[in-house]
Amino acid sequence: MSNKSITRILILGALAIIGILGMQVYWMLRSLELRKQEFQENAKIALIQVARNLAKARNAELPAYTTVQQRGNNSFIININDFIDAGQLEYSLAKEFLFKGIDLDFDYAIYDCNSKEVVYGNRVQLSKLSPQQLKIRKLPNYNKFLYYFGVRFHSTGNYLLSGIWLPLLFTGILLFILVIFTISLVIILRQRRLSEIQKDFINNMTHEFKTPISTIRISTEMFLNNELIKRDKRLIKYAHIIREQNKRLNDQVEKLLQVAKLDKGKVSMETIEVNLHSIIESVADSFEPFLLDINGHIQLDLNASHPIIKADSLHLINILNSLLDNAVKYRRQDPLIKILTMDVDNSILLSIEDNGIGIEKKDLKNIFKKFFRVPTGNIHNVKGFGLGLFYVNSICRAHGWQLGVDSELGKGTTFTIKFKKNL
């Protein structure tokens, strides 16, 4: 995935989470405001009913003007304009508040505006969780009423929040998700940066290797063509070894370069009509000399009736070389490689089967991953970077070919590629 795609996804994810969090905070605040309004309305209704109870007890009439005045978020002044019985007031307040679902501790005070003093005051505990023996808070005076009582509630903040616990819970979860997302974002960006540094290092390293590899190849060819070297069997043997190892090193460097191009999406594909059987025979012939030295053999069974496909011939040859190279590297005694082609509907199925060491089932899902190498147990002579099958899989996907694998530990491995016929 490109840097632009990752950045776009991260930005969209961040905006989505922030947007959801913003909406959640808005609805939480809205719920808190509604809860506050509900509390204040219920408190006013309860206080009005208390005033009515007191007036009824004395066969008095309530004042014609406003009975309840709110003096803050949690303070109220109630106009009676008549004598107030403290015991009856306290009982009526507790009863009406509980009836309206208000189980908050509160202070109340009875005022006499003639003397401008508190006639009586007390604290009433309705909450079971409230601390004991708290001092009574001073309630504000209200000079417009002659005779009245005031009420101040305690812990209204906790009471209001207790009514919106579900929005608070979701907001907390979203905040937690946002923190985790932020941490993940930092880690992803850091890993992406390290990956870019690694890729740049590999690209620079492989390009730097190309010049000495070419120089060694040219020098080796000059050695092999020298008459004096040809007369010395020991020197000619060493020259051949240098050439083979140089070719192997060059192949590994080419794989790294191709993988780097695949990662950046810059691999060039020039598809033309090619004869699949001709390419298979050519690649198989190049492996025959090496197989003869290890008592191995390639068996061809090319049965496809019309083996013309559209492919990039260079990449197709590289794919076949990688699969055959794996069959040789992960071999047992007397390796036998069977290459089969057959018609399947409008496609050609290519099968490359070996009798090697096989692959465990748990490793099959990982073999096409970059840098993954199948554990080989006590076999330590298998070299490579773990790029061959990653390259094979990438090129097959770029062509639209279907790549499959089946293996049994100790019996061998079969790779299949399904090509579309060029009819």
pLDDT tens string 369-403: 877 777 665 554 555 556 778 888 888 988 899 99
Residue 197 has pLDDT above 90, yes or no: no
Residue 149 has pLDDT above 90, yes or no: no
- State the pLDDT at residue 279: 92
- State the pLDDT at residue 302: 93
Mean pLDDT within 14-42: 82
- State the pLDDT at residue 173: 82
Q: Which of 145-154, 307-316, 405-414 has the lowest mean pLDDT?
A: 145-154
- State the pLDDT at residue 274: 92
DSSP three-state, residue 180 = helix
Return d(Cα 165, Cα 28) in angstroms, integer: 9
- State the pLDDT at residue 67: 77
Mean pLDDT within 119-142: 63
pTM for this entry: 0.51
Contact residues for 148 (Cβ-Cβ < 8 A; gap 6+): 77, 78, 79, 80, 81, 111, 113, 142
Question: Contact, 118 vs 79, CB < 8 A?
Answer: no
- Both tokens of residue 296? 């191995």
Mean pLDDT within 241-265: 74
Return d(Cα 183, Cα 191) in angstroms, integer: 12
Closest by CA to 350, choosing from 314, 394, 310, 402, is: 402
H or E element: which one contains 212? helix 165-225
What single letter denotes the amino acid at residue 383?
K
Residue 88 has pLDDT above 80, yes or no: yes
- The residue behind tokens 């992803």 is 188
